[in-house]
Structure formats: C-alpha cells, structure tokens
Chains A and B, each alone.
Chain A
Amino acid sequence: MNVPKILSYIGLALTIIPSFLVFAQLLDLEWYKNLILSGTLIWFCTAPFWINKTEKER
C-alpha cells in the first residue's frame, strides 16, 4: 500500500470518527467541524493519485 493511499484512508477516518466522538460527548462541535474539514482536504489531495489507477499503473 503506497503513501497517498494510506494518507487517503487517514483522511476518511478523520471525516467520520469525530462525529462519533461528538455523539459520545467527548468532542465539541467546533473541533468536529475542523477535523472533518482536515480529513476532507487530505482525501482530496491524495485520492486522485491512486483511486482511478489499476494495479498495473500503480
């Protein structure tokens, strides 16, 4: 698994996990919104490097 792909998955994790922390009342809404924006930006910057490429192209 290459670096952009690992970073992409970290971005996706940052997009979803903070919402569960808000639900569990471990995180406030402002931090949640900052974290999912960070996750979004990480995904946008890394996913195009691998998502449409075949195993051979990678």
Chain B
Amino acid sequence: MANSPTSLTEKLAEIDEYEREPVPRKAVKGFKSFVGMVAGEHIAGTEFIIGPLFVLHGVGIYDIFLGLLFGNLLATLSWTLICAPAAVKTRLTIFYQLEKISGLGLVTIYNVVNGILFCVTASAMIGVSASAVGLLVNVPGPGLTDLYPTSFLWILIIVAIGMVITIVATFGFDRVSKFANIFAPWMPLIFLASGIAMLPSLGVDSVESFWEIGKSKIWTGVPAEGQTKYSFWHVLIFAWLCNSSMHLGLADMSIYRYAKKSYYGLASAFGMFIGHFMAWIASGILCAVAFQAGNTNPSPGEIAFMGAGLAGAICVVVAGWTTANPTIYRAGLAVQALLPKFPRWKITMIVGITATILACSPAIISKLDQFLGLYALLASPVGAVVIIDIFVFPKLGLHCNFASLRKININISVLLAWIVALAGSYSIYVYTEADFYFFVAVPGWIIGGLSYLFFAYLQQKYLTKKETIAPASSVKSI
C-alpha cells in the first residue's frame, strides 16, 4: 500500500485524460456512458429559453414538429457520420489532432478562442442554475441589462454552484459521465411531466384537441409584436446547427475518442430528441401558459417552477450543472493543450473559477447566443480541415499531419483555408441577413474543407518538388 496515492493532489494527478496521446483500448467506454452524458448535456436550463423563442417568433405547429424532427435527425447524423468516426480513428482531442495538422502557432489561437467561449458557455449555465436557486431562497437575481451582481447573497449562490461544477469537472471524464448518469433518466421526465400537466390550463383535455389548441394557442404561426417570423427552415437549421461547433466543428472528438465504435455517435440522438425535441415542445407549452397568465417575459426558473413546482426548480439547477460539467472539462482540455506541462486538473480548476467569476456578470450571459454563434462560425471550417486531413488526404496520396511531419509552427494552407472560410461564410451571413451566425456553419464547413484541399495540394506539390518528404503511405494518422 506504500505506493497508493494518499493525498487529494496525488489522486487528482493520477487521473490520466490522455491529452496528448491516443486513448488506449483499456480506457474506452461503453454505449451507456455516452447516452447518460449527452442526454444530460443537451437538457440544459437554456431549453426553457429556446422553446419559448419559437413560440414568440410565430412558428406554426407543423413547422415546429417537422423542423425539429428533421433538424435533430441531421444533427444526430452529423455526430455519427462525421465527428465520431474522426474521434475513433485518431482517439485524440481536436486540440492535439489540429496541432499535428496546423502547427502549434495556429492551434494556440484556436485553443484560446475555445477556452474563452467554453468558459462563457459554462458561466451562462451557472447563471441559469443560480436563477432557480435564487427563486427558491427568495434572492432576486440580476436582470439581463444589469452589469453587476445584485447582492452578496447572489454571489454566494453563484460561488456554491460554480464550486460543485468545477470539482466534478476536475475529476475528469469518468466523474463527469457518472454525475450526468445519475440525473439523465430523471430530468427528461420533469420536462415531459410539466408539459403534460400544464395542457389542461390551455384547454387541452384529449389527445385530439392537442393539435387544434396547439395551433390556436401555442404555435399559432403569428409572431409576437416586434418579433420576426420563423419558418420550418429556421426550426430545422436551429435544431441541426445550434451545436454545430460540437459535431461539424469536431469539438466532441474530446468526448467520442473514448467510444469503442464510431456508431456510438448515435447516442447523440438521446440528447437531441429528448433535449432538443421533447424539452423544446414542453417549454413552448409552458411559455404559452405563462403568456396566458399575463407573464410576457418568463425566466427559466419561473417557467419550471410554474410547471413542476420545487422539482421543476431543482431540474433547472441540475440541468445547468450537467451542461456546465462537460463544458468546463472541454475548456480545461483546450487550455491544457497550450500548457502541456501543467496538470489538467489544476487548469480545469482555474477554468471553473474563471467561469464562476464570469457568471456573476449578467451582461456576458445575455450575449450567450452571439458567443455560441461566433464559436460555430470559427469552429466549423476547422472541423472540415481535420476531416479532410484524416479521411481524404490518404486517398489522394497527400500527407496527413503536415505540421507535425515538417515540424512547422504554422501550416499556411490551414491558415488560408480558415481565413477564406470565415470571410466566405460571414459574407453569406450578411448577404442573406441570417438570424444567427451558426446558420452559415454549413457553408463555412464546405468552403473550409474545399479550400484546405486546394491550398494543401498546392503546398505539398510545391514542397515535394523542392525537398524530399516521407511518402504518404509511411505517414499514418494514429
């Protein structure tokens, strides 16, 4: 027993998250681990915001059901056919894989952006959880236009929630997954129960009357005053691409590198169809009930409390936790890639503390949708670059992991592809007057992939003439 770790520091140092090496066979996880984790992650407190968003923007009843069906199906396929195969083939994080392709200089920029945006996302989840706790203990939280916390008690609530999330994330993927597993079966039931129980308040008393009343009182097809009209395409694109940075952008390689088989990407369906279908429908119903009661701007905590009482408020707190945990874990990995000699658990702790401090500022939280959209715009071309490098280059006889092979700091073809894709997709965003940045994630992904192929072909053809480099067959992705 002399060699067994005794202190907490030793135990934390022993947790190996394989930040700069492939996940070994002994560490891969079964399908169930992914189901619990994604189901927990995609049922967030923010579902109580997005469901009402569609109601406010006058989505019709057919548009909401069909748009969510096809959009979530496309999202699931994006994880299963794009993200998970890349993760299982390399068994590396996106950060380390990208470093091998683009060089340390370029990946540093990517990781800094990732670290910041993950921190902001996690801080928003802490804020949403705190809004529900505040409601329970009668401590009013700050409004969206406030710049500073409203009271010392509010800060204490934020700190307490931030501590729980940070500690869980510090213990690594295993603890994050186990924590989510405990709540995964219970959370969707709260959403479902509150949606069903509130239907009689709208006058729905049978399955047949749901469609008629849904059309006249919930998804009426008429936007609220001052709101733009959302169609079937808005719903489909929203459902497909709101997490595009994770599937098309390959951020979830950090998670799926632990999958035994690439079809484990199908686990994402549990997150999508429970969190982004059923929960958005349920919160839309609750929103209509709140409107009927005269509350035109209900908060997530208020909606949940109205629909399920104390259990609903607990659900908002837990939903914030289970989304923030893997987000802080990913942020820790992003920053750890910049400081490989610094222990991951210490970095995760610093990231968690940063997210907790940010959560005190509602000004940052209110811009969450813009942060997420910006992240999708930046991440999508990077995902395409990695996919082309892993799967297409070997078939064309081009060299994979070029920066690692040539020991270069910045792979110019990746940099050019990124710039071209960002300029192209942003131009489309402006030209089409799209509602969110992430609506142009797919054009960004396609432009990024094609331009990387073009620039890398020129680069490698030119370099091959000037210098001798190892033949493609001798270079394999791990």
User: Which positions in A face B, CB cutoff 8 Å?
Assistant: 11-12, 15-16, 18-20, 22-23, 25, 29, 32-34, 36-37, 39-40, 43-44, 47-48, 51-52
A15 touches B181 (CB 8 A): no
> Binary interface profile of B, 178-189, with partner A (CB < 8 Å = 1, else 0)?
100110011001
A51 touches B196 (CB 8 A): no
Q: Count A-B contacts at CB 8 Å.
A: 65
Beyond A19-B197, A44-B186, A47-B185, list 11 extra A-B contacts (CB 8 Å).
A12-B185, A15-B189, A16-B192, A19-B192, A19-B193, A19-B194, A22-B196, A22-B197, A22-B200, A37-B309, A48-B182
**Range of interface residues on B (Cβ < 8 Å):** 20 to 34
* Minimum CB–CB distance for B191 against chain A, Å: 10
Contact B186 A15 (CB under 8 A): yes
CA distance A25 to B199 in the complex (A): 11
**A51 near B314: Cβ-Cβ < 8 Å:** no
Chain A neighbourhood of B196, CB < 8 A: 19-20, 22-23
Chain B residues within 8 Å of A18, by CB:
193, 197
B residues within 8 A CB of A43? 185-186
A32→B314 contact, CB < 8 A = no
Most buried by A among B194, B195, B199, B308: B308
Set B186, B190, B200, B314: member contacting A23, Cβ < 8 A? B200
Q: Using CB atoms and an 8 Å cutoff, list the residues of chain B in contact with chain A.
A: 178, 181-182, 185-186, 189-190, 192-197, 199-200, 204-205, 308-311, 314
Tell me the minimal C-beta distance from B241 to chain A in angstroms: 31
Q: Is the interface of B mostly helix, strand, loop or mixed?
A: helix
Q: Which are the 6 A-B pairs with shortest beta-carbon distances? A: A33-B309, A19-B193, A19-B197, A19-B196, A22-B197, A40-B311
Neighbouring A residues of B195 by C-beta, 8 Å: 19
Q: Are B182 and A15 in contact (CB under 8 A)?
A: no
In the complex the two chains form, is A47's CB within 8 Å of B182's CB?
A: yes
A and B contact pairs by CB, cutoff 8 A, 10 listed: A12-B186, A15-B186, A23-B204, A34-B309, A37-B311, A39-B311, A40-B186, A40-B311, A44-B182, A52-B182
Which A residues are in CB contact (< 8 Å) with B192? 16, 19
Complex contacts, B182 vs chain A, CB 8 Å: 44, 47-48, 51-52
Chain B residue nearest to A17 (CB atoms) is B193
Known contacts: A16-B189, A16-B192, A36-B311. The answer to whether A51 contacts B199 by CB under 8 A is no
Q: Are A25 and B186 in contact (CB under 8 A)?
A: no
- Whole-angstrom distance between the alpha carbons of A11 and B183 in the complex? 12
In the bound assembly, the distance between CA atoms of A20 and B204 in angstroms comes to: 12
Q: Compute how far the CA of A51 lies from the CA of B37 in the bound complex, rounded to whole angstroms.
A: 13
| Known A15-B190, A16-B192, A52-B181; contact A40-B314, beta-carbon cutoff 8 A | yes
Contact B193 A51 (CB under 8 A): no
Which of chain A's residues have a CB closer than 8 A to the CB of B311?
Answer: 15, 33, 36-37, 39-40
Contacts of B309 in A (CB 8 A): 33-34, 36-37
Q: Which residues of A contact B199 (CB under 8 A)?
A: 23
C-alpha gap A51/B32 in the complex (Å): 11
Q: Across the two chains, which residue of chain A brings its CB closest to B196?
A: A19
Known: A36-B308, A52-B178. A29 touches B186 (CB 8 A): no
The answer to whether B200 and A16 touch across the interface, beta carbons within 8 angstroms, is no
Cβ-defined partner of A51 (8 Å) among B181, B197, B205:
B181
- Which of the listed residues A19, A20, A34 has the most CB atoms from chain B within 10 Å of its own CB? A19
- Whose C-beta in chain A lies nearest to the C-beta of B193? A19
Contact between B197 and A32, CB atoms less than 8 A apart: yes
Residue on A nearest B314 in the bound complex, by CB: A40
Q: For B200, what are the chain A residues with a Cβ–Cβ distance below 8 Å?
A: 22-23, 25
> CB-CB < 8 A to A36: which residues of B?
190, 193, 308-309, 311
Shortest CB distance A50–B (Å): 10
The complex places the Cα of A40 from the Cα of B309 at a distance, in Å, of 11
Q: Using Cβ atoms and an 8 Å threshold, which residues of chain A touch B178? A: 52
Q: How far is the CA of A52 from the CA of B182 in the complex (A)?
A: 8
A18 to B189, CA, bound (A): 11
> What is the CB-to-nearest-CB distance from B452 to chain A, in angstroms, rounded to a whole number?
41
**A18 to B204 Cα, complex, angstroms:** 17
Complex: A20 Cα to B205 Cα, angstroms: 11
Give the interface centre of B181, B190, B192, B311 by most chain A CB atoms within 10 Å: B311
Cβ–Cβ contact A37 & B189, under 8 A:
no
